[in-house]
Amino acid sequence: MNRTLGVGAFIRKQRALLILVAGFIASSFASPYFLTADNLLNLVSQASINGVIALGMTFVVLSGELDLSVGALNAFSGVLVARLIPVCGAGASMIIAIALGALAGVGTGWLVARLHLNSFVVTLCTMFVFNGLALLLSDSRPVEIDNPVLGALGTGAVLGVPVLIWIFAVLCATAWYVLRYTWYGRNVLAVGGGAKVAELTGIAVHRYKISVFVISGVCAALGGIMLSGLLSSASPTVGGSTALSVITSVVVGGTSLSGGEGGILQTVVGLFVFAVLSNSLSLLNVPSFNQTIIEGLVLVVVVGWDYFSRRMAALSRLAN
């Protein structure tokens, strides 16, 4: 068997990264503004909000589940913080929002792990609940926020780099380390690879399933706080498409929806594929409807390519 990793094998392994690099190069040729520091910082800080949510989603997907409630939780925690700030200040309200995110994760995780309900349906229901709560809390209107702490979080910068990017970077590094180098990360992957086998090897599967939903809930709540800081207002309807686009980033990077395969680096690559795409399309003044069409096509092509090449690999294994 030929064991050398040729260029072709590399391309097959790092599809999303290749698309990202190609998109990056094409964008810098297409628009002179693309490679400026301002634009790149802007691009990354905009991506960092969905990025934080995507980090949490990566844990959920790796463990073989899905979380559709992140968009609603994102909107809910933004509105909650906006409402609580006049009452108990920025710090306490952020802590409350994040704690509620964690609590929601415990509830979802318990239903999925203990009652063996399907996570897609459970989080679909909690999505309705949190959307309703967000609308209720905000009277179905965007709530303005005027708070220096939240403002600094959303629009401030440290060492010339926006705070949003710092948060994302630190969380990325942490999540990457946890998944790669700790027993916790290994066990999450084991649970996603096969819950039954994991159970038989002595892993308390239900605890891991609950924990990934807690991580996802906390990340979604944090994303909501970051978003309302960036916009200095909180909209109850902001998370409508968040869940599916976050899942898209995770999957396009190469994390398998059936669990047990993938990681944080893949998610970051998948995230930036779409961030670079939408940034450069906006710079080129492509109308937003056409942008959506192109993004949909990229999703279909990347996921399709991924599966197709796996099928080809399986066929060539058979032939050998």
Partner 1 sequence: MNATVNSAVRERMHVRFLLSDAGPLLALILLMAIGSMISPVFLSKGNLYNILSQIAVLGVGALGMTYVMISGFFDLSVGGVLSLAGVLVVGLQPSFGFTVALLAVVAMGVGIGCANGLLLRTIRGDFGASIMITFGVGTILAAVALLYSNGYSMTVQYSRFLSWLERGGVAGIPAVAVVLMICAAVLHVILRYTVLGRYMYLAGASARVALSSGVPVYTIRTIALCMSALMAVIGGLMETAQTASASPVAGVGYELDVVAAVAIGGTSLSGGWGSVVRTIVGVLLVGVLNNVLILVGLSTPEQMIAQGLIILVALITDRQRKSNLS
CB of 140 or CB of 182, closer to partner 1? 140
> Residue 278 has which token pair?
């939408």
Beta carbon nearer to partner 1, 36 or 290: 290
Q: Across the strands, what pairs with 157?
A: 162
Nearer to partner 1, 94 or 97 (CB): 97
| Other residues' Cβ atoms within 10 Å of the Cβ of residue 146 | 11
CA distance 216 to 212: 6
- List b or e across 190-200, with b for residues whose CB sees 16 or more CB atoms inside 10 angstroms: bbbbebeebee
Q: Under rule CB under 8 A, which residues in 193-252 are in contact with partner 1?
A: 240, 244, 247-248, 251
Distance (Å, whole) CA 229 – CA 164: 9
Query: Least distance to partner 1 from the beta carbon of 226, Å?
Result: 24
Among 124, 157, 231, 265, binds partner 1 (CB under 8 A): 124
Which residue's CB is nearer to partner 1, number 121 or number 161? 121
C-alpha span between 56 and 217 (Å, rounded):
7
Nearer to partner 1, 131 or 280 (CB): 131
Interface with partner 1 includes 258 (CB under 8 A)?
yes
Residue of 10, 29, 128, 183 that binds partner 1 (CB under 8 A): 128
Residue with tokens 């930036």: 272
**Which positions from 83 to 122 touch partner 1 by CB under 8 A, shown as an x/- string?**
----------------------------x---xxxx-xxx
- In the shown chain, the binding pattern of residues 268 to 287 toward partner 1, with x for contact by CB under 8 A and - for none, equals -------------------x
C-alpha angle 314/255/188, rounded to 5°? 110
- Asked if 11 touches partner 1 (CB under 8 A), the answer is no
What are the residue ranges of helices labelled H in the chain?
A: 7-13, 15-30, 37-62, 70-114, 119-138, 148-155, 163-181, 183-193, 195-200, 205-231, 242-253, 264-283, 288-319
Nearest approach, Cβ of residue 189 and partner 1 (Å): 16
Q: Exposed (0-12), middle (13-18) or buried (19+): which is 218, by Cβ within 10 Å? A: buried
- Interface with partner 1 includes 261 (CB under 8 A)? no
Residues near partner 1 (CB under 8 A) are 68, 111, 115-118, 120-122, 124-129, 131-136, 140, 240, 244, 247-248, 251, 256-258, 287, 289-290, 292-293, 295-297, 299-300, 303-304, 307-308, 311
